[in-house]
Amino acid sequence: MNKSISIVIPTYNERENIAALVERIHSALAPRDYEVVFVDDNSKDGTAELINSLSRKYPLRVIVRKEERGLATAVIHGIEHSDGQTVVVMDADLQHPPEVITDLLSAMESGADIVIASRYVKGGGMKEWGLVRKIISKGAIILAHLLLPATRSVKDPMAGFFAFRREALGKAHLTPRGYKILLEIMIEGKFKNAAEVPFIFESRRGGESKLNAKQQIEYLKHLFSLMQRTGELWRFIKFCMVGASGVGVNIGIFALLTRLGGMGDKDFLALAIAIEASIITNFILNEYFTFRDRRKPGSNFLVRLLKFNVICAAGAAIQAGIYAGLYHGLGLYDLVADLIGIIIATLWNYVLNTLLTWK
Ligand X SMILES: Nc1nc2c(ncn2[C@@H]2O[C@H](COP(=O)(O)OP(=O)(O)OP(=O)(O)O)[C@@H](O)[C@H]2O)c(=O)[nH]1
Binding site for ligand X (CB under 6 A): 10-12, 14, 39-41, 69-71, 74, 91-93, 95, 204, 209-211
Give phi and psi for 61, each to the nearest 5.
Answer: -140, 150
User: Which of Mg ion, ligand X, none binds 14 (CB below 5-8 Å, type-dependent)?
Assistant: ligand X
Return d(Cα 65, Cα 69) in angstroms, integer: 8
CB of 39 to ligand X, least distance (A): 5
What is the number of other CB atoms lying within 10 angstroms of the CB of residue 326? 19
CB of 298 to ligand X, least distance (A): 43
DSSP annotation of 85: S
Using the rule CB under 5 A, is 16 a contact of Mg ion?
no
Question: Which CB, 39 or 279, lies closer to ligand X?
Answer: 39
Using the rule CB under 5 A, is 93 a contact of Mg ion?
yes
CB of 91 to Mg ion, least distance (A): 5
Question: Which CB, 95 or 319, lies closer to Mg ion?
Answer: 95
The residue number whose beta carbon is nearest to ligand X equals 209
54: Cα separation from own chain's centroid:
36
Question: Which CB, 207 or 246, lies closer to Mg ion?
Answer: 207
User: Which of ligand X, Mg ion, none binds 92 (CB below 5-8 Å, type-dependent)?
Assistant: ligand X
User: Which of Mg ion, ligand X, none binds 259 (CB below 5-8 Å, type-dependent)?
Assistant: none
Sequence-distant contacts of 308-311: CB under 8 A, at least 24 apart: 308/279, 308/282, 308/283, 308/353, 308/357, 309/276, 309/279, 309/283, 311/348, 311/349, 311/352, 311/353, 311/356, 311/357
CB of 296 to ligand X, least distance (A): 38
Which listed residue (95, 250, 319, 357) binds Mg ion by CB under 5 A?
95
CB of 8 to Mg ion, least distance (A): 15
Q: Are 157 and 151 in contact (CB under 8 A)?
A: yes
User: Which of Mg ion, ligand X, none binds 294 (CB below 5-8 Å, type-dependent)?
Assistant: none
Residues in the chain: 359
User: Max CA-CA distance within the chain?
Assistant: 92
Question: Which CB, 77 or 304, lies closer to ligand X?
Answer: 77
Return d(Cα 223, Cα 162) in angstroms, integer: 20
CB of 179 to ligand X, least distance (A): 7
What is the number of other CB atoms lying within 10 angstroms of the CB of residue 148? 19
Binding site for Mg ion (CB under 5 A): 91, 93, 95
